[in-house]
Structure 1
Amino acid sequence: MSWRKEIKAFEYYLKIERSLSPNSILAYIQDVEKLAAYLEKRDAELSPLDVKLQHLRYFVNDLASLEISEFTQARIISGIKAFYKFLIYEDKMEENPAMLLEAPKLTRKLPDTLNYLEIEKMLETIELGSPEGHRNRAMLEILYSSGLRVSELVNLKIGHIYADIGFLRILGKGNKERLVPIGSDAKKYLNIYLDDVRRQQTIARGHEEYVFLNRRGKKLTRVMVFLVIKKLAGQAGIRKKVSPHTFRHSFATHLIEGGADLRAVQEMLGHESITTTEIYTHLDREYLRQVLNTFHPRK
């Protein structure tokens, strides 16, 4: 049994049976390919079915020695565990060598956020005299107003905008749909972009339904959105590392700080588990601690 054949079968399983996004599938496959390359280098005859726990521990120890972050190590181990669960599921193995494989304990890092003034600075930096300016303003307004992932933003379609009730239909991770509200400012700038900019464009075949387009009339890529936001942050004089996800974190943080119900925030973010959303309550407590240290006379 070859690594290539089983990795291909694993990829098909993730796509068809798990309905994972292309980015998630790619991450899983790359993780298993790292293991395959490592083991083939040590023993070319070692097939996926021959792997034992000790082989996996050697691999993990070597990862740690390369000064790879704990988060990356944990993600790779998660990919390997998923691969061997798949082999068990397919009755290709009876014992799972990855079952007792331990991942490094992660220290939960609070995400970087922007305060409202910083978000305002970035929005005001955008020049609205150009088509790209109107598009970029609409994009950032939606990211902050609705807390979308960048992949959800670039895949947003015209038919998924319910302007009359102020909601967007979002296709999130695992092809799970959710409805998220869109704020009045975001709706205003989105309408300007759609009516005054996008309508004037020549749209490439196959891209007619996508909301946000580049100059060639094709849907924007995730990388392009990253570059736009990085440039605007620099122009606004913001020293923090800012990405599309920063707007998502800021959206959630500002809601929690304002007293929003955690379940409602979970629903809007599209988190499968509320444990993922709870990180923002920790962020809120840190904010309260900073307020105490700054303003209390007996800090």
Structure 2
Amino acid sequence: MGANSKRSDVNACTAFFGWACRTGRRKDNPMDLVPTVHRDRRKQIPAPVEAVEKAKHCADKRALLTIMLMDEAGLRRSELAAMHTRDVIDDLTGKSIIVHGKGGKDRIIPLSDQLGRIVSSLPEGYFFPGEHDGHVCHDTIYRIVKNATGWPPHAFRRKFATDLWRATDDAMKVKEMLGHESLQTTQDYIYATLDDLRDAVDGLRAYRGTDAREIHPEKILEAYNVPPAITRLLLDSIRNQE
């Protein structure tokens, strides 16, 4: 068992025995003797593109939709297990879903046209019906994904985070899409490869190779709220003198 799984189990037991003590069901809390388990901060590898392709050929028809929602919307398995057709909404350009995240906090995730059409065609009700309050439990989602691809569900959430970061170069947008409270948590999801770091160094070198002090008079005049027509006249006058 990994450090993060142990930490999750310890937190669950701590919450349970804390409740038992507060309600008078126990006098002592055995978790007081259990040492703190620190989170494993090692970077976890995101799922590869091939894992998404593999899901297309899985016998379990739920697998492809499950993995598409994780890969394209970054959902947690607990969020995905309870996803309902009433959570699908129309936005200005297509479809989005309301995700009911941790701590009762909702967020809205835009969907691709393909994924929007798929979820809109589902029969009314939970995406994945089951016996857990009408839907499957999150452990079932884990088995569906692992059996279909060989990768755990969270690897696809990391893939979503990493791909979105590469596409936008904006960790704050990734944070909002994942529904994280802390940017530090989001940074743990972003997997920067050596190629990413090389691109950053090349970008820095290219920037320093240019004249960063180059003056753009039109930008200066714009900053002083000079009307565009006056700006053009001034610049034309300067160029004619040259």
TM-score of the aligned structures, taking structure 2 as reference length? 0.63
Give the structure 2 partner of residue 276 of structure 1: 185
Q: Which of the residues 127, 135, 143 maps onto 1:211?
A: 127
Deviations 1:66-96 (A, max 9, x none): xx65434444554566568768988xxxxx9
Match of 2:108 among 164, 168, 179: 179
- In the alignment, what sits opposite 1:33? none
Q: Distance in 2 between matches of 1:75 and 1:223?
A: 15
Deviations, residues 32-66 of structure 1 (Å, cap 9, x unaligned): xxxxxxxxxxxxxxxxxxxxxxxxxxxxxxxxxxx
Q: Is the 8 A contact 1:73 1:103 kept in 2?
A: no
Structure-2 separation of matches of 1:223 and 1:169: 22
Q: Which whole-Å CA distance do the structure 1 matches of 2:174 and 2:110 have between them?
A: 11
- Give the Å deviation of 1:100: 10
Find 2:196's aligned residue among 280, 288, 299. Answer: 288
Q: Secondary structure at the match of 1:258?
A: helix
Aligned residue for 1:236?
Answer: none
Shift of the alpha carbon at 1:288?
3.0
CA contact (8 A) 1:271 1:277 kept: yes
Q: Does 1:256 align with 2:183?
A: no
Q: Tell me the CA shift for residue 285 of structure 1.
A: 4.6
1:124-203 equivalences under 5 Å are 124-126=56-58, 133=61, 135-165=62-92, 166-191=95-120, 193-194=121-122, 198=123
Q: Distance in 2 between matches of 1:242 and 1:291?
A: 28
Gaps of 5+ in 2: 24-28, 201-242
2:109 is matched by which residue type in structure 1? V
Any conservation in 2 of the 1:144–1:247 contact (CA below 8 Å)?
yes
**Structure 1 residue ranges without an equivalent (≥5):** 1-67, 91-95, 199-207, 234-240, 293-299
Is 1:228 aligned with 2:144?
A: yes
What are the superposed Cα offsets for residues 190-219 of structure 1, whole Å, 9 maximum, x if unpaired?
Answer: 23x42xxx3xxxxxxxxx6313336xxx53
2:42 to 101, 109, 115: 109
RMSD: 3.7
Query: Hey, what's the Cα distance between the residues in 2 that align with 1:290 and 1:122?
Result: 30
Kept in 2, the 8 Å contact 1:158–1:211? The answer is yes
* Residue 186 of structure 1, CA deviation: 1.4
Kept after mapping to 2: 8 A contact 1:256/1:280: no
Matches within 5 A, 1:72-87: 72-79=5-12, 82=15
* CA distance 1:287–1:222, shift in 2 (3 Å): farther
**1:266 Cα deviation after fit:** 1.0
**Which of 154, 157, 163 does residue 245 from structure 1 map onto?**
154
Does the Cα contact within 8 Å between 2:96 and 2:116 map onto a contact in 1? no
- For residue 228 of structure 1, report the CA deviation from its aligned partner: 2.5
Q: 1:111 to 1:122 in 2, by over 3 A?
A: same
Name the amino acid aligned to 2:138.
Answer: R
Specify whether residues 211 and 71 from structure 1 end up closer, same or farther in structure 2 by C-alpha distance, changes over 3 A only. Answer: closer
1:212 touches 1:220 (CA, 8 Å); kept in 2?
yes
Larger Rg: 2
Q: CA deviation at 1:105?
A: 4.3
Give, in angstroms, the shift of residue 148 of structure 1: 0.7
**Aligned sequence identity (%):** 24
Describe the shift of the 1:87–1:288 C-alpha distance in structure 2 as closer, same or farther (beyond 3 A): same
